[in-house]
Structure 1
Amino acid sequence: MTMTAIVASDVISSLIVSGNPIAYLTFRTFAYTCQNQVLIYLMNSKIGHYMKIPPRIVFPLFILASIITSIIQYITAIYLLNHLPHICTSKNPVWRCLSLQNTHTSSIIFGVTGSFIWSSQYSSMLYGFLIGTILPILSWLLWKIFPHIKWLALINFPIFLMATTNFPPAPAAEFPSWFLIGFIFNFILYRYAHNWWEKYAYIFSIAMSCGVAICSFIIFLAFQLNHTDFPQWWGLGGINRDGCPLDSANFSGFISTERYI
């Protein structure tokens, strides 16, 4: 839902505030960021509900956590900017700030050039709206015409296509991992170990998310802070070290080696 809102806000802003990146970012903040923060709050409240924690306890904890994380994030950002050379540039592939780079690129494409209009270089991308509208209707019609084919009822194009909105800035190599984990848990375990899936799948998902955060923190303190590089292997090719040498190419296929955000 949030990614749909941000795409819609980008296209609308390119039409009404073209040439004004500040207005674009302001429009994007109200159209997407506020909604995203509300959804994050609702998701966290859902976790508290599952853990049987009363809302009157959850809400002040959210306020306290927001204050603490704001201070920690600011201190961390200042520390990284002052201690990591070439941070947020192509010269430092480990710390390229892809999310910020994505926001900066969007502000240029939509806010400065207004590229998503019919006469622009990227106008062909607008056909994605038409394709995204037709595909769910097509799958629904096929399900109605062939009701005996059970797997047609499981096709959900909005969910399939929603994942593609994460490509910028998510590296391409992450998608096979997502597919593999999703297939194991939501197909194999759901079908052959449903009782385990029903009891532990959601908790295990949270545990993996927390494990990634803790592991990233440990890796930073133990390795990156001591200038110890990750072992090189075939899956680390490309400027983003995700095995795809073309992931940093532009619309024309040109790969820039000097990009700054």
Structure 2
Amino acid sequence: MEGSSVEHDDAEEVNDDSPIEQVRLTVPISDDPSEPALTFRTWVLDLGSCIILSFVNQFFSYRTNQLSISSVSAQIASLPLGKLMAAILPTKEIRFPLTRWSFSLNRGPSALKEHVLITVFATSGSTGVYAMNLINTGKVFYRRSIHPLAAYLLVITTQMIGYGWAGVFRKLLVDSPYMWWPTNLVTVSLFRYVFYNASIIWGVIGPKNMFAKECIYSRMNWFFLIGLLAPVPVWLLSRKFPNQKWISLIKMPIIFKGPGNLLPARSVNFIMWGIVGLFFNFYVYKRYKAWWAKHTCVLSAALDAGVVFCAVLMFFTLQTYDIVGPSWVGLEANDHCYFAKCPTARGVRASGCPMS
């Protein structure tokens, strides 16, 4: 009986693991229920990282060479701050008058779950708000200002729609172990490292003026149909050739959506990103899986955070004083085309430009 009980427990533990190999190599399934989570430290660093990252990313989004600061930066910076607060804050209980409620400024050493919650808040702030594009474009290009209260309601409602759809499809988008994103492995790997090792279309112009039959963007409607049908050939081929496992790895939604998250960089950047990504996530993963599981995601986080910290430092110490340094290949924000600034409307004449 004891042997069967042990086997049953082992089976439950195995079934609790992820069916994705990359996730199994990176994410542990162990848990410590005694670790504190919602502490005073958590709320202070949560709100601070969320507010700061949302402001900084929105600020840098107006640059010609846009800079995006990921939550990895807050993840790295919040660890020493959490340990500092654990070392200097008093442990005395603070009680609310006339209630039984109380809390402590310091519930002991900084815990992993606190760090995870801080990173979650930082991620929600670093991703930005899509509705800001509507507000900015309407004001800059169409001279249409929106009342602050209306702008606030627009931002909140559009964000809540996204969270609402995630809740409606929770079983498919949240609970399913097959819905994973490689970027999250970088965050989880950094946790394991740190504690055990130290649009204007819909808002201003309107869809009729953009996609109606007589308008310039009317042919874009076909892409909705293409996006709907694109996964079907991949599915049919995977069923027809089940031994060709690589076919099932073709994810058309990722191919279409993934480039939308890329920064407006030059071709040399994309080439280098592709080479590095293929080398580590195909060759190294296939030949040296243990090394990949231990170092790849941490290396990605280190490179990401290093670029961000240096970029912010150089902006405030050099670029704000008009010190831009040497002109590197790919740094100039132009298309190297003499006609790039020419008008495109029909019948408009400009010196040195061809007639539209």
Q: Structure 1: how far apart are the matches of 2:48 and 2:290?
A: 39
> Which residue of structure 1 lines up, in the alignment, with residue 106 of structure 2?
none
Q: Which of 64, 69, 91 is residue 44 of structure 2 equivalent to? A: 64
Q: Which residue in the other structure is 1:207 paired with?
A: 302
- The Cα shift of 1:139 comes to 0.7
Given that residues 48 and 58 in structure 1 are in contact (C-alpha distance below 8 angstroms), is that contact kept between their aligned partners in structure 2?
Answer: no
Quote the offset at 1:189 in angstroms: 1.3
Q: How does 1:1-261 map to 2 (within 5 A)?
A: 56-57=36-37, 61=41, 63-69=43-49, 72=52, 88=62, 93=64, 102-103=133-134, 104-105=136-137, 107-115=199-207, 116-119=210-213, 120-166=215-261, 170-173=264-267, 174-239=269-334, 244-245=335-336
The CA deviation at 1:178 is: 3.2
| Aligned equivalents of 1:128, 1:219: Cα separation in 2 | 41
Question: Aligned in 2, Cα 1:125/1:223: closer, same or farther, shift over 3 Å?
Answer: same
In the alignment, residue 254 of structure 2 is paired with which amino acid? I
Question: SS of the residue aligned with 1:234?
Answer: coil
Q: CA deviation at 1:188?
A: 1.7
SS of the residue corresponding to residue 212 of structure 2 reads coil
- Give the distance between the partners of 2:299 and 2:66, measured in 1 at CA: 29
Asked if structure 1 preserves the Cα contact closer than 8 Å seen for 2:285 and 2:292, the reply is yes
User: Given residue 228 of structure 1, which amino acid in structure 2 is its aligned partner?
Assistant: I
Residues 178-231 of structure 1 show CA distances to partners (whole Å, capped at 9, x for unaligned) of 322321221121112211101222222222222122111222234213322132
CA distance in 1 between partners of 2:233 and 2:219 (Å): 22
Query: Which amino acid is 1:117 matched to?
Result: F
Aligned partners of 1:178 and 1:154: how far apart in 2?
20
- Give ranges in structure 2 of 5+ residues lacking alignment: 1-25, 69-127, 139-198, 347-356
Q: Which protein shows a greater Rg? A: 2
In structure 1, what is the Cα distance between the partners aligned to 2:227 and 2:37? 41
Query: 1: distance between equivalents of 2:232 and 2:226?
Result: 10
Shift of the alpha carbon at 1:65?
2.6
**Aligned-residue CA RMSD (Å):** 4.5
Letter of the structure 2 residue corresponding to residue 170 of structure 1: P
The answer to whether the 8 Å contact 1:48/1:54 transfers is: no
Cα deviations by residue, 1:53-105 (Å, 9 ceiling, x for unpaired): 9774367555323432466569979xx89xxxxx94xxx745799x8985434
Partners of 2:319 and 2:244 lie apart in 1 by 52
Query: How many angstroms does 1:172 deviate by?
Result: 4.8
How many equivalent pairs are there?
192
Q: Between 222-231 and 46-55, report the one with greater CA deviation.
A: 46-55
Inter-partner Cα distance in structure 2 for 1:245 and 1:54? 60
Instruction: Assess if the C-alpha contact under 8 Å between 2:318 and 2:324 holds in 1.
Output: yes
CA contact (8 A) 1:237 1:245 kept: no
Deviation digits for residues 125-159 of structure 1, max 9, x if unmatched? 22222111211111111121223333212211111
* Matching residue's letter, 1:180: I
* Residue identity (%): 27
TM-score (norm 2): 0.42
d(CA) in 2 for partners of 1:118, 1:110:
13
Q: Distance in 1 between matches of 2:331 and 2:65?
A: 11
Name the counterpart of 1:26.
none
Using CA pairs below 8 Å that are at least 6 residues apart, which structure has the higher relative contact order?
A: 1
Cα displacement string for residues 108-132 of structure 1 (whole angstroms, at most 9, x for unaligned residues): 3321111443333222222222111
State the alpha-carbon separation in 1 of the partners of residues 47 and 285 from structure 2: 39
Aligned to 2:101: none
| Between structures 1 and 2, the one with greater helix share | 1
Using the alignment, how far apart are the partners of 1:166 and 1:198 within structure 2? 25
Contact 1:135 1:157 in 2 (8 A): yes
- Runs (5+) with no aligned partner, structure 1: 1-45, 82-86, 255-261
